[in-house]
Amino acid sequence: MNNSLKALENRSIYILREAFASRSKMFVLWSMGKDSSVLVWLIKKAFFGEIPFPVVHVDTTFKISKMIEYRNSTALKEAYDLRFVTNEKAIFNRETYPDGNLTRVDCCKNLKTKPLTEFQSGIGYQYKLNHNSKSFDKIPAEKFDTIIVGLRADEEGSRSKERYFSIRDGQNKWAHHDQPMELWDYYNNELPEGSHLRVHPLLDWSELDIWQYIDQENIPLIDLYFSDGVEGKRYRSLGCSFCSAQIESNAKSTKEVIVELSSPKFKNTSERSGRGQDKEGKGTLEGLRKDGYM
């Protein structure tokens, strides 16, 4: 492993251990994407092969079917304490972009922000993987004070305003204009009453760093990120099926993706260029994130 990647790995592991030492109830968000897959890998490195807290998926019910299959099979194989949460009321009432007259941004609020914040706050129910029956049990929600998130600063403009340790208030709001500096490895993990902490161990990683690390560590990854060699397309960023477009690509391996990302064509194209909700207007994703989105 080169020195740059080793330094990033060490910093991420340090942040994970700092968070675990200072907070009592945490979980990690897992989208089955490349970033959260690296994050889960780093957690296992930080805690000697274990993940000592739940692995949580916010299930919109509109994910690509392969993602759900991958989620369940991987969680069973790796013995994750897998939970998922869904806004069942919004799905039933068709308060979504595909089924109703909502914008993609409002759909994100209903299917991602609301269930995530309710899960963290201990409202309603969640689904927990039963490893014996290989099915999910519906259980009462429990309150958490910390969420580990695999976002990166280079991925999108509002994420570049984040800190490693970022406080959300009692209404899950993010005051990005009022955040303390993180100097000399000092992280603000003191929580006001009713608030919760979001921890971002991958904040300084780039897209290329992620792929180089996946390649060097041989991290398992869902095959949607690779071209099947027939249509010449793959996903660069994964989300709901109606908000995630494939890109033209013949990359069939991590090494080929790395070569591709180093080319001028990809250096000048946004990683999230295929994500529909990012196209609904300037600042829409920042607005979502101020209200509790990932």
Reported as a single tens digit per residue, the pLDDT across 23-45 is 879 999 999 999 999 999 999 99
In a domain, 176, yes or no: yes
Q: What one-character DSSP code corresponds to residue 191?
A: P
Structure tokens at 231: 């249509």
Q: What is the mean pLDDT of the chain?
A: 85
The mean pLDDT of 157-176, rounded to a whole number, is: 65
Of 183, 205, 227, the last residue of a domain is 205
165-168 and 247-248 beta bridge pairing: unpaired
Res. 196 pLDDT band, cuts 50 70 90: confident
- The residue type of 43 is I
Domain count, the chain: 2
Instruction: Examine the domain organization and report whether 188 and 219 are in the same domain.
Output: no
In a domain, 219, yes or no: yes
In a domain, 293, yes or no: no
Instruction: Examine the domain organization and report whether 219 and 140 are in the same domain.
Output: no
Report H helices in 150-282: 207-217, 254-261, 264-267
Report H helices in 47-144: 65-78, 88-92, 104-108, 114-121
Instruction: Examine the domain organization and report whether 161 and 145 are in the same domain.
Output: yes
Cα gap 276→221, rounded to integer Å: 23
Q: Is the pLDDT of residue 266 over 50?
A: yes
Instruction: Examine the domain organization and report whether 43 and 88 are in the same domain.
Output: yes
Range of the domain at 139: 3-205
- The residue type of 7 is A
Q: Confirm if 83 and 53 have CB atoms less than 8 A apart.
A: no
Structure tokens at 108: 């994100």
In sequence order, the β-bridge partners of residue 196 are 168
In a domain, 258, yes or no: yes
In a domain, 284, yes or no: no
Q: What one-character DSSP code corresponds to residue 198?
A: E
Beta strands in 118-188 (DSSP E): 125-130, 135-140, 146-148, 165-168
pLDDT for res 100? 77
The residue with greater pLDDT, 122 or 192, is 122
pLDDT for res 93? 93
CATH number at residue 156: 3.40.50.620
Q: Is the pLDDT of residue 279 over 60?
A: no
Q: Confirm if 151 and 122 have CB atoms less than 8 A apart.
A: no
pTM, two decimal places: 0.88
Of 205, 232, 256, the last residue of a domain is 205
Q: Is the pLDDT of residue 289 over 50?
A: no
Cα gap 109→115, rounded to integer Å: 9
In a domain, 285, yes or no: no
pLDDT for res 220? 96
Instruction: Examine the domain organization and report whether 59 and 179 are in the same domain.
Output: yes
Cα gap 97→100, rounded to integer Å: 6
Instruction: Examine the domain organization and report whether 78 and 224 are in the same domain.
Output: no
